[in-house]
DNA sequence: CTTTATGCAAAGCGTTTGCATACTT
DNA sequence: AAGTATGCAAACGCTTTGCATAAAG
């Protein structure tokens, strides 16, 4: 566990905004100005393999990283792109239902919401008035 | 509506395997051998804007296109990568629950399952024996 | 004849990889 | 000294775009 790797894990844990690799890079650069993007990708991937992080593949091109353990769901704002956790109880029964309906052996499910966050709704409202 | 555009829409409707842009390109090329990938992307995007197709952004790098109307869910096989529909009733109540929990105005939700399809389970089983 | 779409090639963007150098242990 | 990680730059895969030509209305 090198200095860089520790700093990367720390940066993702500190943010609860589900940063992209690039955002992590910018954040860590404040402490380690010479860290490269390649190192960021390599180590985030490694931390995912070790189960310390999760990689999210919601729409919008970039993958995002999440340090929160356990299953939970996400919302993405279509206007500002931010991703937040949804505090609702996971639905374990849906995997069984899907397995029954498809014949697959279902191992995960992802539930993602899309909409507009409070801040962006306000921004639109005040621009209109 | 050009010949190319009609052929593209047709190709996606004909497949229920949720083809990628590249797969659509290969399929349409059989009828229109000179059609370019650029044209494929431009027209699929256009058809999405017109609401005739939907673009799926499940993990795995490539986007996929879906001609089936109405809300429904998907499973993706981790081994062969195929994407299939899940015949289960949509859960309209979850959007309200998410809106309540987050303060977002929620307009869509996507529920995706990940697992292993029947064929791949058999393949693994027979390789093992 | 004006507008819109096409094929082609180049550029874009996020991510991955090869390689020589620099850490770790 | 052996093994692993780093920075840098180049390569990669998918998608988008600029442009001259061709098709559509």
Nucleotide nearest to B33 (CA to C1'): C7
Lowest mean pLDDT among A20-29, A96-105, B43-52, B57-66: B57-66
Task: Nearest chain A residue to B77 by CA: give it.
Answer: A104
Q: Which residue has the higher pLDDT, B60 or A68?
A: A68
Nucleotide C24's nearest residue (CA vs C1') is A2
Where are any strands of DSSP class E within A6-122?
54-56, 64-66, 73-77, 83-86, 105-116
Residues 6+ apart with CB under 8 A from B97: A88
The pLDDT value given to residue B129: 84
Cβ neighbours of A97 in B, within 8 Å = 88
Binned at pLDDT 50, 70 and 90, residue A111 comes out as very high
Q: How many CA atoms lie within 13 A of A70 on its CB side?
A: 9
CA dist A73 → A56, A111, B85 (Å): 11, 6, 21
Specify whether the CB–CB gap between A77 and A117 falls below 8 A: yes
Predicted TM-score (pTM) of the model is 0.86
Least confident of A15-29, A74-88, B30-44, B85-99: A74-88
pLDDT one-digit tens code per residue, B24-43: 999 999 999 999 999 999 99
Q: How many CB pairs under 8 A join A and B?
A: 113
Task: Count CB atoms within 10 A of the CB of residue B47.
Answer: 19
DSSP string of B14-50, one letter each residue: H--S--BHHHHHHHHHTT-TT--HHHHHHHHHHHHHT
A55, A113, A122: which to substitute to probe chain B, counting the most B Cβ within 10 Å?
A: A113
Q: What is the pLDDT of residues B40-86, one digit of tens each?
A: 999 999 999 999 999 998 877 899 999 988 889 999 888 888 889 99
CB contact under 8 A, A107 and B98: no
pLDDT tens per residue, range A47-67 = 999 999 999 988 778 999 999
Per-residue pLDDT, B23: 96
Inter-chain residue contact B115 with A94, CB threshold 8 Å: no
Q: Judge whether residue B6 contacts strand C, using its CB and a 7 Å cut-off.
A: no
- pLDDT score recorded for residue B88: 94
CA distances to A75, B18, B41, B106, B117 from B55, in Å: 18, 9, 11, 19, 22
Q: What value does the mean pLDDT of chain B take?
A: 92
> Cβ contacts (< 8 Å) between B105 and chain A: which residues?
115-116, 121
Burial A76-95 (b: 16+ CB within 10 A, else e): bbbeeeebbebebeebeebb
Question: What confidence score (pLDDT) does residue B109 get?
Answer: 93
In angstroms, the Cα distances linking B90 to A128, B93, B120 are: 34, 9, 27
Percent of chain B scoring above 70 in pLDDT:
100
CA distances from A34 to A31, A44, B16 (A): 9, 17, 49
Strands B83-86 and B73-77: antiparallel
């Amino acid at each position: 566990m090198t200095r860089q790797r520790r700093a990367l894990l720390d940066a993702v844990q500190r943010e609860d905004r589900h940063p992209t690799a690039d955002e992590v890079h910018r954040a860590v650069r404040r402490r380690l100005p010479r860290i490269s993007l390649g190192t960021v990708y390599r180590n985030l991937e490694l931390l995912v393999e070790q189960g310390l992080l999760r990689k999210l593949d919601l729409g919008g091109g970039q993958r995002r990283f999440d340090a929160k353990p356990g299953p939970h769901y996400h919302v993405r704002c279509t206007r500002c792109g931010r991703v937040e956790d949804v505090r609702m109880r996971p639905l374990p029964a849906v995997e069984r239902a899907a397995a029954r309906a498809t014949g697959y052996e279902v191992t995960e499910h992802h539930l993602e919401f899309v909409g507009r966050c409070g801040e962006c709704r306000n921004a639109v409202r005040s621009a209109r008035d």
